[in-house]
Each structure stands twice: as C-alpha cells, then as structure tokens.
Structure 1
Amino acid sequence: MSEPSALAVLAEKAGTRFILALFVDLTGKPCAKLVPVEAVEQLATEGVGFAGYAVGAIGQQPRDPDLMAMPDVASFTPIPFVKEGLALVHCDPHVEGEPWPYAPRVILKAAVARAAAAGYAPYAGAEVEYFLLRRDEHGRLVPADGDDTAAQPCYDARGVTRMYDHLVGISQAMNSLGWGNYANDHEDGNGQFEQNFEYADALTTADRVVTLRYLLNVMAAERGMIATFMPKPFADRTGSGLHLHLSLRDTATGASVFPAGGDADPVGLGLSKTAYSFVAGILEHACALQAVIAPTVNSYKRTGAVASSASGATWAPTLPTYGGNDRTHYVRIPDDQRIELRGGDGSANPYLAIAAAVGAGLDGIAHGRSLGEVGTGPDTPFPATLLHAVEAFEGDDVVTGVLDAVGPGVAEYFARLKKDEFFAYHAAVSAWEHDRYLTAI
C-alpha cells in the first residue's frame, strides 16, 4: 500500500472533510471545486478538472482541453470557522500537463523565479481595504452599520466596537492560520475597514489576499452584509486601495537588500542604491502598471477623483511620484525596510499586481535607474481612465513581458479584455447623462 500524500496527511491532521480546490482567473474571480476528502489522493496526483471557458477570463475557448487545477500543498488552509471540516488549497492550473500561461498564480511564480535568477527573493505585505454594506428598503447601497454617519469616521472607536463581532471573527480566523493579525480599524470612508496581517514571501501574501477576500465575503454574508472590494463604491467617500509593501532579500544570505547600511545614501531616505533603482523602475513603468494594479473602470474614479471625499482627503495618488513617510505619493518610503506602492486598489488581482510591480522594479535594478529629487517622478501623464492605462500597458515591454512570462499572448488577451470592459461601460447610458442632457437643449 502506497504512502499517503502530503495533502492527505494535512487533511487528516486538520479533521478536513472537504477541500476547496481554488484558483483565480485574470480578474481575480475565485473559482473552486469542492473535493471530498475521500478523493484527496486523486486531487493530489491528478488535480481536478475545469472547463476553462466557463471559468471566465483565463484564455480558453469552449473547444479547449480541460484546465487541471493542481494543488500547492504548502498553501493548504483549514477554514473550520467557515464550515466545520472545510479547508482550501490554492492551485496552479495546468493544461495537458503544463502550467497554463494565463493563470495568475503561475505568472507570479514565474516572476519570483526571475527575481531568484537575479539573486533576489521578493517579499510583500498587503493592506486589504473593503466596505461593509447592505441594501436599504429602496435597494440603495448603504453602510451595514446604520450609525456609521460621522464626517470623519477613520479610527472611530465606536465604529469599530459596533462591528466588533465581524472584526473579531476575521481576526481570530487569521490568527488561527498563523498570519499574525496585528490591527483592525475603521478606515476613512463610512462603512470602510481594514484588517492587517504580517508580511511574507510574495506568493504566500498573494495567496492570503485571495483567501482573506473569500473569508470576508462569506463571513460578512452570514451576518447579512455585503463585503466589497470595489475601488470607489461612493463618489463622495474614500476609495479602497490594495497597498503593497515590497522588499527584496538576497537569496544567498536571506538579508534584506533595502537598507542603506554602510553604503552611501544618495537620496537620504535610508535605502540602498539597489532599493532606489527598484523604486525608479516602478515609477518608470507606473502608467502601464496601473492597468494591472488598478484594472477596472471604477479604479479611475479613485485615482482620478476630482473632489475630496467627505472626510477631506482621497488618500489616492494622482501622479507617479515618490516620497518619504508621506501618503500623497505613488510610492511611499516609510522606513529602510520596505516601500509602499499606493496606486493599486481593491479590484487588483494580487498575483498579477505583485508580479508586475516586482518586474518593473527589477527592470529598474537591471538598468541602474536613479531617482530625481524627493517628491518627483517621470514627466508622464498619469492614466485618467482604464483605457489610457491599457494603452500605456500595450506600449510597455516590461510590464507586458511579466504577463507573457510563461507563454505569449497573455498580455494581448488581458489588454483586449480590459478594452472590452471600458467600451461596455462607455456604451451604457447613465443617470448622470440623463441629468446632464435630457432637457439641456
């Protein structure tokens, strides 16, 4: 009798009865099959099949062979706080035995491998911002907490306390998984929250963002709420970002390459020349990067806000600039351990966002790019809409190259997908147009 697989051992130890074999498409939509533990060995060795075209944005047509979702045992995550006996495992889609080039997790793994070839291991932290909403008697979206009406609700102790059960439930879930939840707060918009966990290697953090979004969705729904990561659900309130904290370690020593240490610090913010070149690469490719880290029509209601939110600030960058501990910039450098990329939002696919950011930064290192004065950046127009961002993306060989790293055609497919999204939005007639034009002439 053969030895049980590592996945079977973990499932038995956790008391698992069913496993969600999960992956996301290019938009970040979570897709899964529920696999009984009795079939765990088949899952471990053969994966589980999906009709790829039915999945959504993952580069397949109805005629194509099945996607086989192959589990990554290291990502096995028991989630009994959702359903007793339930676990999930993140999977890498394969087609006919090969990693599928359109699979976001496969793309990030390729970016990590490219970084390793250059001697670096990318690490990431992520700030997952979201709104908790419900529909009122007229069908309008409103904060789930009816008393959340303050003009400046950020960090309000009363707002946190009113949402105590939800926040504690998520916090305890994260800590039971060993993520190290260290803060839970009310953010700047009415109904908006953030729950933080410790940073990790790039792939682990991306997996955790996907897992957390799933947990927030299902656990909020159990309490009659809608958890949304939509970048800008309300025109007059702060939008939801997905701020990424990025750093690199030396693969040989495990030490961070970001602190200046004994090296000269040409900018004065405590980072090494390598780290500054990494930042310069991100700024150089910022406009194209936005198509990946702010990938929806709604994203540009956040970064392109023409008026402040009710609280007085939008907290979203409007130019590709960098600065020190200053949250008005595209790249913030809060200390000598990391940088914070603030251009991304809640609609970003974490695998693609981290992969593209790392790819842009590595390009900066490879070309020895340097930064201008603090507070400056490239003299290029920041994308005003998704269409502008996609056009910048199409003209950027570095960022498109990240998406095409496992196979050609992915970047072109992604650009077409996003253009179709923009033109579908553009074709819709809105209430704003009725108000503006119906009796104007």
Structure 2
Amino acid sequence: MTAQLPAAPRNAEELARAIARDGVEFLLVMFVNLHGRPCAKLAPVRTLDQLLSEGLGFAGNCAGGLGQSSGDPDLVAIPDVTSYVKVPLQPGLGIVQCDLYVEGEPWPYAPRWILRNQLAKLAEQGRQLKVGAEPEYFLVKRAADGSVTVADELDTAPSPGYDAGAATRNFDHLATVSRTLEELGWENYSNDHEDANGQFEHNFGYADALRTADRVIIFRHLAKMAAQQRGLIATFMPKPFAHLTGSGLHLHVSLWEGQTSLFDDPSDARGLNTSALGYSFIGGLLEHAPGLLALTCPTVNSYKRLNAGANTLSQSSWAPGYATYGGNNRTHLVRIPDTGRIEVRAVDSAANPYLAIAGIAAAGADGIARGVDPGDPLTGDLEAAGAAAGLRPLPTTLLHAVEELLGDGALREGLGKVAGGEYADYYASVKREEFGEFHREVTGWEIDRYLI
C-alpha cells in the first residue's frame, strides 16, 4: 500500500510547516512566459513572510513574452501556496508557482491568469475542468562537433515502442523520474519507451486543470534535471529528428459538476458512452481546431511533427492531420478512450500548458453553448486514409495556424484582453516574428538543393 502523502498547503501557515518538514532552504519562485519557459528567482525561506505579502519583483522585458518593455513597472510574482512542491532531486530546494501582478493588478499577459480566468467562467456555471497529461520527450546527447544524437547508442530499432531492452538500459533515468513523481504524490503509474528511438513518456494522475498545468511545467524541469545528472539532455522539442516520430503532450480532459462527470452517458446511441454535452464539447474542439493549433502546437518545429504522416522510421506520426474524432483510435484529433473523458491529441511537447488548456476550455465551452454536433465518429486509420476521405487538413505551418487564431472569435475571447487590445493579437505578433526568423534562415537543405 502506498503511504499517504501530506496534502498540499492551503495557507501561509501550512506552507511554512511543509517547508520546515521538507528541510527546504530555498524556493524557486517560478512563473512561465508566453513560450512556456519557466522563469524564477531563488529566495531563501527566511523571506517567506515578505514573499507572500509583497511578492518578488521581476523585469518583465527580461523574462520575455509577457507584454513588457524595459520602461515598464516590475512584474510582481505572488506565490500560490497550494502549488508548493519540494524538489527530490535537489535537497533543500522547493518550487512555488506564482501569479503575476503589475501595480497591484493581475497582469493579463501572464499565461497562468489566462487559464485562471477561463476556469473561473466554468466555475460560474458550477463546472470544473480536470486534465491528465502524457508528456513525451527525447533523451539525447551532444557530440563535440555540436551534433545531437539519441543518447542510447543501442536504441536503433525501426519500431522501438515499449522496448524492454531500451527501458532497462535507461533504468537509472526512468526510475529516478518515477521515484520523484511518487515522492511528490502525483501517482505515477507507468514509464515507457515511446515510438521513436530515444523517446520516453511518464504518466501521472489527473487533477484540476490549473494543477495539471503547474505539474507539466515542473515535470519538464525535473526531467531535465534528472537527465543532466547523467550528462544527458531531456528535450521537449517536438521533432528533433526528421526521420523519427515527434513528441506530444496528449491531454485527457473531463468536465465535472461536483462529483458527476458531465461527459459520461452509458446510454449513448453512438456507443461511446459520451453525453450530448460531451459531444458538443468535442464539436467545439473540432470547429476551432485550426486556430487552437496555434496554442497547442506553438513552434515552427511543431508542424514538422504534425505533417510527418508515415514518413518516419516507424511508419507513423501518432499526430492528427485532420479535425476528426472517434473511439479508441489514435489517428484522430480527439479520441474517446474510456467513459467520461476525451483525449486531445493535437497538443505537442512544446505547448505552454496554461495557454493550451485555456484554448481547449474556450473551444469546448463554445461548442456547448451553441450545441455543436460533431457528427458521427469516424473509424479506420485516418493517417493513411484521411486525404482519400476528403477531409480538410489542419494548418501546415505555424503561420497558417496563427492566421486561423486571429479569425477565431471564441478563442480570442477566451485568451482575454490586454492593454490596448486582445491577447490573441499580441500572441500572434510574437509567433509571426518567430516564423519570420525561421523563414529568413538559409538551411543546409537549401544549400544542397539550390547552390549549383
């Protein structure tokens, strides 16, 4: 039987006791920017009272992606006491996630606030969004010449998914991560080698949407720490190798009213045990999928995973190419794997979890509000037969997805307003510049193809 772990702190006094119990000397006072990059200062725990009452100041322009210039007032990070975790991989260290304020007001460019606001709209209806996450990543190493290769030199099979040999060769790393998740009380229930060489996934229990977003950020940080301790790199780049399957962040989503799952209906005529409300949520996701991808697949590199098709060593991408749904079928954007929940598969390993979940919540809520019917589920291998079925492909580049986002009223409203406009416009401007930087780069492929 698993030992009962202490509950998360609910107030300042409980946080202080938890810090003392865990022997924590320093706190990483953390928040994330638009790109999902964790930013932090290291604060001695003796400053806890001041930290909770006054917060900790940051130069927002230095952190990037937070809508600030060098002339703007400080961002003030106020810890959410319920987010506290110790860091088992670094004795004496704890982490608290923070909400950002400027001059005493919530800062609307902060991704955590964007998700908070979307969840508050659901709460007004008596509803709660719960989310489980399946983070994938690669273990790699960098050679002296700067090239990057899969860390395990023996991991060369064309279809290495669930390979027992690769799992045992990487036992130290996988076990370290698993023990860490268990010590945090996240209910780690499996750790496996995924479809690509050098690719791994760790699964842990679902929670309310904000808590899961926090955990995804912390998980990435911990996985990178565990890899660094072995002289390796854990990368959450969606597709680091052209010939291999990319990494996803599949999100399992359910909507609740008290202890009742609103997606569950055993009498479902379509045979998927899903309620009419659940189908409308799915309908909203499918309708808004083109713009939603700008949030769930947020990098230039993301679209090399989405559009890989069968052009990988394993002959599969495990990523959707069309806005479709079905039962226990991993070629859809939305899979219904079990009663009471759906799996959104159009999310990749680089996604900012706060923005991705906020977008999913906004799209699904719009579907419910308008009673959208997604139609009957599709069957068969859409990765192989999608084009023949006449389905509309999802955006093929980040720029295409951003343009779809700008024209999507429900997603614009879900992301909220900022000074002088809407967050969607700010987000789009950042992502357009990212795409522009990529497009201006001259690659080796171009040199090989066009030089002579």
Shorter-chain-normalised TM-score: which range? over 0.9
Alignment map for 1:38-53 (pairs within 5 Å): 38-53=46-61
Q: 1:200 deviation in Å?
A: 0.6
Q: How does 1:17-416 map to 2 (within 5 A)?
A: 17-79=25-87, 81-250=88-257, 253-261=258-266, 264-375=267-378, 380-404=392-416, 408-416=421-429
**How many pairs were matched up?**
432
- CA gap of 1:176–1:405, structure 2 versus 1, over 3 A, is farther
CA distance in 2, matches of 1:289, 1:233: 23
CA distance in 1, matches of 2:364, 2:171: 39
* Kept in 1: contact 2:133–2:250 (CA 8 A): yes
Q: Give the letter aligned to residue 317 of structure 2.
A: T
CA distance in 1, matches of 2:437, 2:89: 36
Partner Cα distance (1:4, 1:176) in 2 = 22
Separation of aligned partners in 2, 1:244 and 1:286: 14
The one-letter code of the counterpart of 1:321 is T
User: What's the secondary structure of 1:383's corresponding residue?
Assistant: coil
- Distance in 2 (CA, whole Å) between partners of 1:298 and 1:307 is 17
Q: What is the aligned-residue identity percentage?
A: 52
Is contact 1:127-1:194 (8 Å) kept? yes
- 1:73 positional shift: 0.3
SS in 2 for 1:332: strand
CA shift, 1:146, in A, is 1.2
Structure 1 counterpart of 2:433, one-letter code: D
The one-letter amino acid of 2:56's match is V
Q: CA deviation at 1:405?
A: 5.6
How far apart are the structure 1 equivalents of 2:309 and 2:135? 24
Read off the aligned partner of 2:394 and give its amino acid letter.
F
Deviations 1:411-441 (CA, angstroms, capped at 9, x unpaired):
11100000000111000000010111011xx
**Deviation of 1:401 (Å):** 1.4
The Cα of 1:98 is off from its aligned counterpart by 1.2
**Distance in 1 between residues matched to 2:416 and 2:12, nearest whole Å:** 36
Q: 1:139, CA displacement in angstroms?
A: 2.4
Superposed CA deviations along residues 105-131 of structure 1, whole A, max 9, x for unmatched, are 111111110111122100000110000
Structure 1 unmatched ranges of 5 or more:
none
> By how many angstroms is 1:4 displaced?
6.7
Q: Compare 397-406 and 143-152 and name the one that shifted more.
A: 397-406
Letter in 2 for 1:219: A
Give the superposed CA RMSD: 1.6
Contact 2:89–2:180 (8 Å) recurs in 1: no
1:217-243 C-alpha deviation (Å, 9 max, x unpaired): 122111110110111111110000010
Q: Aligned partner of 2:395: which letter?
A: P
Amino acid paired to 2:71: R
Q: Distance in 2 between matches of 1:171 and 1:405?
A: 40
After TM superposition, the structure 1 stretch with the greater mean CA deviation from structure 2, 200-209 or 140-149, is 140-149
The question of whether the paired residues in 2 share the 8 Å contact of 1:7 and 1:44 is answered with: no
Question: Where does residue 437 of structure 2 map in the other structure?
Answer: 424
The amino acid across from 1:296 in the alignment is: T
Letter in 2 for 1:151: P
Q: How far off its partner does 1:17 sit?
A: 0.4
Query: Contact 1:5/1:44 (CA < 8 Å) preserved in 2?
Result: no
Whether the 8 Å contact between 2:309 and 2:316 is mirrored in structure 1 is no
Distance, in Å, in 2 between the alignment partners of 1:169 and 1:315 is: 27
Is the Cα–Cα contact under 8 Å of residues 7 and 40 in structure 1 kept in the other structure?
no
Amino acid at match of 1:385: T
What SS class does the counterpart of residue 333 from structure 1 fall into?
strand
CA distance in 2: counterparts of 1:39 and 1:197, whole angstroms: 32
TM-score (norm 2): 0.93
In the alignment, what sits opposite 2:447? Answer: 434
Question: 1:380-413 CA deviation, whole Å, 9 max, x = no partner?
Answer: 4410100100000000011121211677432111
8 Å CA contact retained: 1:180, 1:197: yes
Look up the SS of the partner of 2:337 in the other structure: coil
Amino acid at match of 1:119: G
Contact 2:412 2:422 in 1 (8 A): no
Q: Deviations over 1:259-314 (max 9, x none)?
A: 114xx524321100000000000001000000000000000001111542101211
Measured in 2, the distance between the counterparts of 1:199 and 1:410 equals: 28
Which residue does the alignment assign to 2:8?
Answer: none
Cα distance in 2 between the residues matched to 1:392 and 1:284: 11
* Amino acid corresponding to residue 396 of structure 1 in structure 2: D
Determine helix, strand or coil for the equivalent of 1:393. helix
Q: Deviations over 1:25-73 (max 9, x none)?
A: 0100100000001111111111111000001101101111100100000
CA distance in 2, matches of 1:154, 1:71: 40
**Does the 8 A contact of 1:59 with 1:410 survive in 2?**
no
Equivalent-residue separation in structure 1 for 2:159 and 2:34 (angstroms): 35
1:324 is aligned with what amino acid?
G
Secondary structure at the residue paired with 2:35? coil
Q: Which amino acid aligns with 1:248?
A: L
Query: In 2, Cα distance between the equivalents of 1:112 and 1:405?
Result: 16
Q: TM-score, normalised by structure 1?
A: 0.95
The answer as to whether partners of 1:317 and 1:328 remain within 8 angstroms in 2 is yes
